[in-house]
Every structure is written in C-alpha cells, then in structure tokens.
C-alpha cells in the first residue's frame, strides 16, 4: 500500500534512504524548513537552503518516484535574533510561488522565549496575509506542554482557520487539546524523544483518526526514515483494518495537504 511521509528532512538523509522509502511504498513527502544542526550566519545561507528545498530535493526524490514538497520559514531555534529573523522572513515570499511549496513551516517555539514568540507571530501574520497553510513545530521534551499552549493561543489571535494549521510532534499530554481546538495534529515517530510507533498506535486507538497523521521527521539526529511503514505494521499487528491504516498514513495527509492546491502524489 502506498503511503505519504508528511514531515521528513531529506536534506539530512542519503539517497539510499529515498530508495528504501520508495521500496516501502512511499509515494510523496513534505519537507519543512528546519534547523540544520548549526546556526546559519547569513540570509544568503537561508536563500541557498530554500533553493535546495525547491529545486535540488525534488529532483533527488523524483529519481525514486517520490513527489517532493516543502514548507518555508525561519525555524524557532534560529529566531532568537529578531532582526536577523526578519531579514530571512523578507525573502520567503519570493519562493512561495514555487510549485512544490505548500506553505509556511515548520514555525513554532523551541525554548518558549519572548523573541521566538514574536517571530512566530510575524510568520503567522505572513501566512494569514498570503493565505498559506501552516505547519507548526512544538518544542521538545519538558518544554512541549507549555509551548504547545502558547502556540495555539498565538494562532487563535489571528484569523487563520485551524483546519488549515497542523500542529506537529503531539504526544499524549498535548494531542487532546490540539484536536479539541480544531487543529490538525501530527505524531512524530522517534526512537527516544517523541512517539514510538507503539505509542502512536495507542493514541490512534484512544483518539481515532480524525485530523491526525503520522510522520518520521527523519533528520540528522536519532530518527528513522522508515518509521511510517513501521507504524503501519504495528497497527496491522494489532488487527486494525487496511482502511484505518490507509486513513492515517495516506488519506489524512492527502486531505490536509491538498488544501494548498499544489500537493500531488503523481
């Protein structure tokens, strides 16, 4: 069965990963702009990164029959310097018309600081002004609960439709509030720091599949680009139907992402 990995950082992965993902049934991915493991020293660094996301990666993915899409932003970890972040934000609109750009993301918070919140609000305003979909990064570990609430409050201060916003990296202590407030929710399947495939399956059993998706968020850290098919296998081993598995790993990403008018699996 075909699947979509709606959050993976292929700039950090090898071509072998594209091959293994294709062999496992991956037909499309979306790649949010993120922290590359080091702080970039210039706006030009981001310009080149956006070129990589809009030009180079789609070609790498196409070699394996995978459709590549992306999201653009300055990530929260590099948003503490407000002046620098604003310079980066100023170049984003030039890329939004690229055919594989789906919206603004992954914006959000990292350490839940005042400056991160200012830049989050400014990027939400950009999405609002240009009618873009939004993909949200929620903070790590002990900062997630507080950050998720701050982020949802900030979004609710805009006119953005929650049905056009996906809040990612939810876990057991945040998923309920995210869904209750009308947003889409993403579960990231990580070996240590987010949801395991088993816990994601538990959350699906407790909350159902409505407005929920799974992703690998594979990147340069401990992560697994095949986490989505592993979660599908976990669900199958528990006796869940092909229909449910397809809903969480194909139909739901397709529904949310198609709101951009640019998402395609072919």
Partner 1 sequence: MTKKEIVDQYFLEHRAKVLDIAAFLDRIDRSGETDADFRIDALMRCIKELQSEKEGRTERILSILSDHTTEPIDHAGMKGACGAVPPPS
* Among 16, 97, 142, 266, interactor with partner 1 by CB under 8 A: 142
Stretch that binds partner 1, among 58-66, 90-98, 183-191, 233-241 (CB under 8 A): 233-241
Min dist. Cβ of residue 98 to partner 1 (A): 30
Stretch that binds partner 1, among 10-18, 43-51, 134-142, 161-169 (CB under 8 A): 134-142
Cα distance between residue 70 and residue 8, in whole Å = 10
Using the rule CB under 8 A, is 113 a contact of partner 1? yes
31 Rama class: left (phi>0) / alpha (psi -120 to 50) / beta? beta
Using the rule CB under 8 A, is 228 a contact of partner 1? no
Using the rule CB under 8 A, is 143 a contact of partner 1? yes
Using the rule CB under 8 A, is 189 a contact of partner 1? no
Long-range contacts of 240-248 (CB under 8 A, 24+ apart): 240/201, 240/204, 242/1, 244/204, 244/209, 245/1, 246/1, 247/209, 248/204, 248/209, 248/212, 248/213, 248/214
- Size of residue set near partner 1 by CB under 8 A: 30
Using the rule CB under 8 A, is 233 a contact of partner 1? no
Residue numbers 61-80 binding partner 1 by CB under 8 A: 77, 80
Using the rule CB under 8 A, is 198 a contact of partner 1? yes
The sign one gets for the Cα dihedral 213, 151, 139, 97 is positive
CB distance 25 to 230 below 8 Å: no
Using the rule CB under 8 A, is 141 a contact of partner 1? yes
Using the rule CB under 8 A, is 239 a contact of partner 1? yes
User: 239: Cβ–Cβ under 8 A, 6 or more apart, which residues?
Assistant: none
Using the rule CB under 8 A, is 114 a contact of partner 1? yes
Stretch that binds partner 1, among 11-19, 53-61, 64-72, 167-175 (CB under 8 A): 167-175
Which of 26, 88 has the CB closer to partner 1? 88
Q: Write out the two tokens for 160.
A: 């953005």
Min dist. Cβ of residue 35 to partner 1 (A): 10
Using the rule CB under 8 A, is 37 a contact of partner 1? no
* Among 52, 56, 115, 259, interactor with partner 1 by CB under 8 A: 115
Using the rule CB under 8 A, is 144 a contact of partner 1? yes
Cα distance between residue 257 and residue 241, in whole Å = 23
- In the block, tokens 């929260």 appear at 76
Cα distance between residue 144 and residue 108, in whole Å = 11
Min dist. Cβ of residue 244 to partner 1 (A): 14
Using the rule CB under 8 A, is 99 a contact of partner 1? no
- Spell out a b/e string for 234-251, using b for 16 or more CB atoms within 10 Å of the CB, else e: bbeeeebeeebbbbbbbe
| Interface with partner 1 (CB under 8 A) | 77, 80, 110-117, 139-146, 149-150, 171-173, 193, 198-199, 202, 237-239
């Amino acid at each position: 069965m075909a699947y979509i990995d709606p959050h993976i950082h292929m700039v950090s992965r090898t071509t072998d990963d594209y091959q293994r993902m294709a062999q496992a049934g991956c037909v499309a991915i979306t790649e949010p702009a993120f922290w590359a493991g080091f702080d970039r020293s210039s706006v030009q660094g981001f310009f080149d990164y956006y070129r990589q996301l809009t030009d180079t990666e789609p070609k790498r993915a196409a070699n394996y029959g995978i459709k590549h899409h992306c999201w653009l932003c300055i990530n929260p970890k590099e948003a503490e310097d407000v002046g620098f972040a604003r310079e980066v934000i100023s170049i984003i609109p030039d890329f939004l018309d690229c055919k594989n750009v789906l919206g603004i993301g992954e914006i959000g918070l990292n350490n839940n600081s005042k400056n991160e919140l200012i830049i989050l609000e400014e990027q939400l305003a950009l999405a609002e002004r240009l009618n873009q979909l939004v993909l949200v990064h929620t903070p790590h570990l002990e900062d997630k609960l507080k950050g998720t609430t701050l982020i949802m409050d900030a979004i609710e201060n805009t006119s953005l439709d929650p049905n056009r916003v996906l809040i990612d990296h939810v876990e057991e202590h945040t998923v309920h509030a995210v869904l209750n407030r009308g947003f889409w929710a993403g579960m990231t399947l990580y070996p240590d720091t987010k949801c395991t495939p088993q816990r994601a399956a538990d959350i699906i059993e407790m909350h159902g599949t409505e407005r929920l998706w799974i992703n690998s968020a594979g990147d340069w850290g401990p992560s697994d680009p095949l986490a989505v098919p592993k979660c599908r296998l976990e669900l199958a081993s528990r006796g869940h139907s092909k229909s449910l598995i397809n809903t969480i790993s194909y139909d739901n990403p397709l529904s949310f992402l198609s709101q951009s008018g640019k998402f395609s699996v072919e």
